[in-house]
Structure 1
Amino acid sequence: MKLQLLRNATLKLDYAGLTILIDPDFAPKHSRPSFTGRSPNPMTDLPVSTDEILRGVELVLVSHLHADHFDKVAQDLVPKHLPLVCQPGDEARIRSFGFSDVTPLTDELTIDGIQLTRREGNHGSGPVLEKMGQVMGFSIEADGEPSIYWAGDTILYPPVRETIATTQPDIIITHSCGAKWDGIHIVMDAEQTVEVCGIAPDHSKVIATHMEALDHATVSRHDLQAYANAHDIAKHRLIIPDDGETLHLTAPNS
């Protein structure tokens, strides 16, 4: 498989012969308001053009409808005929954007030999949960490919730990910028990301994304790497890709 981090949560995945776009946010740098007063968002440009990002895409996955996961620019530019998988409850709104082939991931779904399984997520804790709304993660599996657990916009809490323990994924993709809302973490921070490395199977690789793009983040790539180093997490165990970087990954037994 080939995995390219574009920016924040936006990924392009070549997997089992299918090219998948995950959570497209195509907004130009500084085109949306600040969350904290530190900077307009997103804080960085996309590393490549939207034409290049969309080239070859055959399936779109949208975890939820926050602007940094499916923004107005992407809603306009992503071809409306492409099959799009979303969380239950978002399908009507996505169809209102003009998309014609929208399927909610209620439990499991198989597309061209690729199995998608919905996973639970908590986009924060306590009183902030209602403000953030429902989100989902998902597992991706296919014969001959590494199994993926894309945790999404969630903190580390019991259902995430249970998913890791029961599915034993080869690849775990975390959102690790430590973003806060009303002073409460709404995604994983450095401590929780390193904890994921500790509870993951020995063969797993943890790929930390969703960093250095939004001004309510509290953890940079450098911060996360320094924390991981201090806790003896090997660099082959925790991968922190740059925007635009492409990773080539194989199943452990291949």
Structure 2
Amino acid sequence: MAIESNIQLVRNATLVLNYGGKKFLIDPMLAEQGAYPGFEGTANSHLRNPLVGLPIEPGSLMDADAVIVTHLHPDHWDEAAVKMLPKDKVLFAQNENDAEVIRSAGFSKVHIMSENSLFDDISFKKTHCQHGSDEAYANPQMAEILGKSSGVFFGKPGEKSVYIVGDTIWIEEVENNLKEFQPDIVVVNTGFAQVNGFGPIIFGKEDVLRIHEILPEATIIAVHMEAVNHCVLSRKELREYIAEKGIENSVVIPLDGELIAF
């Protein structure tokens, strides 16, 4: 009997992926509502993050078989997660720099994702992102703030493939990944987060349409909305947009805590 795979949006980009009989916790931001100041130099920086509370008890996430951290921005890996997660939890980071930061917080089983990562019999690969425009990365101070980010592609015989695109704008490599991987499920960070003077640093609604045009049979799951100060695209605006474009049957816009089976 096949084990059902599913994705649960916890909040923002925090996901639980049950895949091939294993539970992955991805990009845990586990703080209570309003725990942190808004991101300086971004839209709506007067608002405190997270904008909303957790829809589930964080303790229910502690039994994950492994944790994946796509990058170290605090809306993907926060102080609360560092404190709550067991220090012997298997954890995957995007590169040695991130791994060293996580190890320095006391975690003892930190691995680095590659193009050929394996957890038990589940293969997954790190994918490249660009967390802002070329202009933003040409500014040394902004380039340091934005840093590197990554996505993850999961594939297993007998399972639907899942591409978690990560914090990125539209770049050729992401487009090539969509065409090469032909994922069944595409999880997209679509909050259209804005940095003052440099524009968006993650996908917006038009990018959802572009993905659909490349992969008309794929299910697109839109997350990373309405939870941190600089994300300006709302669920309501995205729903209206996909209805206008006639692609609402291909796009899922989950509420915090919602589980999507596939």
> Shared topology, TM-score over 0.5?
yes
The TM-score with structure 2 as length reference comes to: 0.91
- How is 1:26-175 mapped onto 2 (pairs within 5 angstroms)? 26-35=30-39, 36-54=44-62, 56-88=63-95, 89-129=97-137, 130=143, 131-175=145-189
SS in 1 for 2:74: coil
Of residues 20, 23, 40, the one that matches 1:19 is 23
Q: How much has 1:218 moved relative to structure 2?
A: 1.3
- How is 1:211-226 mapped onto 2 (pairs within 5 angstroms)? 211-226=225-240
Q: How much has 1:96 moved relative to structure 2?
A: 0.4
Q: How much has 1:82 moved relative to structure 2?
A: 1.1
1:193-236 C-alpha deviation (Å, 9 max, x unpaired): 22111112x32111000010011111000111111111111x33
Q: Is the 8 A contact 1:29 1:41 kept in 2?
A: yes
Alignment-mate amino acid for residue 48 of structure 2: P
Q: Which residue of 2 aligns with 1:240?
A: 253
Query: Matched residue pairs, number?
Result: 246
SS in 2 for 1:44: coil
Distance 2:132 2:208 in 1: 15
Distance 2:187 2:65 in 1: 21
- Consecutive unaligned residues of structure 2, counting only runs of 5 or more, are 138-142
Alignment-mate amino acid for residue 144 of structure 1: G
Distance 2:148 2:162 in 1: 21
Q: 4+ residue stretches of structure 1 with deviation over 6 A? A: none
Distance 1:71 1:215 in 2: 15
1:93-118 C-alpha deviation (Å, 9 max, x unpaired): 11001110111113211111111111
Alignment-mate amino acid for residue 220 of structure 1: S
Q: How much has 1:181 moved relative to structure 2?
A: 0.9
- How is 1:203-218 mapped onto 2 (pairs within 5 angstroms)? 203-218=217-232
Distance 1:214 1:73 in 2: 15
Distance 1:228 1:165 in 2: 21
Q: How much has 1:38 moved relative to structure 2?
A: 4.3
Identical-pair percentage: 34
Q: Is the 8 A contact 2:185 2:220 kept in 1?
A: yes
Of residues 237, 240, 244, the one that matches 1:230 is 244
The TM-score with structure 1 as length reference comes to: 0.94
Deviates more, 1:30-39 or 1:151-160: 30-39
Distance 1:121 1:97 in 2: 25
Alignment-mate amino acid for residue 94 of structure 2: Q
Alignment-mate amino acid for residue 154 of structure 2: I
Structure 1 residues 65, 116: CA separation in 2 closer, same or farther (over 3 Å shift)?
same
RMSD over aligned CA atoms reads 1.1
Distance 2:106 2:118 in 1: 24
- Consecutive unaligned residues of structure 1, counting only runs of 5 or more, are 250-254
SS in 2 for 1:95: helix
Distance 2:61 2:117 in 1: 25
